[in-house]
């Protein structure tokens, strides 16, 4: 059951990062009003999510 908690924690962290990225995008668009700000935000969010989703043998193996 501990490995399920760890996976749930990782999912929660990804969701929190996504929420922060969405807020940053909103603020950038509001203050800068450029599509470049959105592209930068999308790129940062995607790379962070992909880095987080790499398989982690410790998280997936039962203890």
pLDDT of residue 63: 43
Q: Which residues contact 14 (CB under 8 A, 6 or more apart)?
A: 49, 52, 53
**Which carries the bigger pLDDT value, residue 31 or residue 54?**
31
CA distances, 40 to each of 30, 44, 45, 55, 58 (Å): 14, 6, 9, 26, 32
7-51 per-position pLDDT tens digit: 999 999 999 999 999 998 888 877 766 666 566 666 666 655 556
Whether 59 maps to a domain, the answer reads: no
Give the domain extent around 31: 22-48
Number of domains in the chain: 1
13, 16, 22, 25: CA torsion to nearest 10: -70
Domain assignment of residue 53, yes or no: no
Stated pTM of the model: 0.45
In a domain, 17, yes or no: no
The answer to whether the CB of 9 falls within 8 A of the CB of 36 is no
């Amino acid at each position: 059951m501990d490995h399920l908690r760890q996976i749930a924690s990782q999912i929660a962290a990804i969701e929190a990062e996504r929420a922060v990225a969405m807020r940053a995008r909103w603020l950038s668009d509001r203050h800068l009003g450029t599509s470049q700000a959105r592209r930068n935000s999308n790129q940062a969010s995607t790379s962070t999510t992909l880095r987080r989703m790499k398989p982690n043998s410790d998280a997936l193996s039962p203890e």
